[in-house]
Amino acid sequence: MTTKILFIIASLMVSVLAFSQQEHGQKHRKEHKSNSANEHMHRSSVDNLIKRFESPQRDAYQKPEKVLEYLGNIKGKKIMDIGAGSGYFSVKLAEKGAHVIAADVNDEFQTALKKRIENNKLKNITLRKIPYDSPNLKDAEVDMVFIVNTYHHIENRSEYFSKVRKGIKQDGKLLIIDFFKTDIPVGPPVDHKVSMDVVISELKNAGYSQFEVNVDLLPYQYIINAK
Q: H or E element: which one contains 213? A: strand 211-214
Rounded Cα–Cα distance for residues 91 and 154 (Å): 23
Q: Which segment of 29-33, 45-49, 185-189, 201-205 scores lowest on mean pLDDT?
A: 29-33
Q: Is the pTM of this model over 0.75?
A: yes
Give tens-digit pLDDT for 23-47: 434 443 344 444 555 554 555 688 8
Q: What is the pLDDT of residue 26?
A: 43
106-159: pLDDT as tens digits: 999 999 999 999 999 999 999 999 999 999 999 999 999 999 999 999 999 999
| Structure confidence at residue 12 as a pLDDT band (50, 70, 90) | very low
Q: 32-71 b/e with 16+ CB inside 10 Å = b?
A: eebebbbeebeeeebeebbeebbeeebeeebbeeebbeeb
Say what the pLDDT of residue 46 is: 84
* 85 pLDDT above the threshold of 70: yes
> What's the rounded Cα separation, in Å, for the pair 50 and 105?
15
**Which of 20-24, 64-68, 187-191 has the weakest average pLDDT?**
20-24
Q: What is the mean pLDDT of residues 98-106?
A: 98
Count how many Cα atoms sit within 13 Å of the Cα of residue 140 in the half-sphere of its side chain: 3
9 pLDDT exceeds 80?
no
Sign of CA dihedral 160, 99, 81, 106: negative
Query: What pLDDT does 203 receive?
Result: 98
Q: Give the pLDDT score at 73.
A: 98
User: Quick one: average pLDDT of 175-202?
Assistant: 97
Q: What is the predicted pLDDT for the residue at 45?
A: 83
Q: With pLDDT > 70 as the criterion, what percentage of the chain qualifies?
A: 81
What distance lies between CA 188 and its chain's CA centroid? Answer: 13
Domain ranges of the chain: 1-43, 46-226
The mean pLDDT value of the chain amounts to: 87
Q: Using 50, 70 and 90 to split pLDDT, how confident is the model at 7?
A: very low
Task: Give me the architecture of the 46-226 domain, per CATH.
Answer: 3-Layer(aba) Sandwich (3.40)
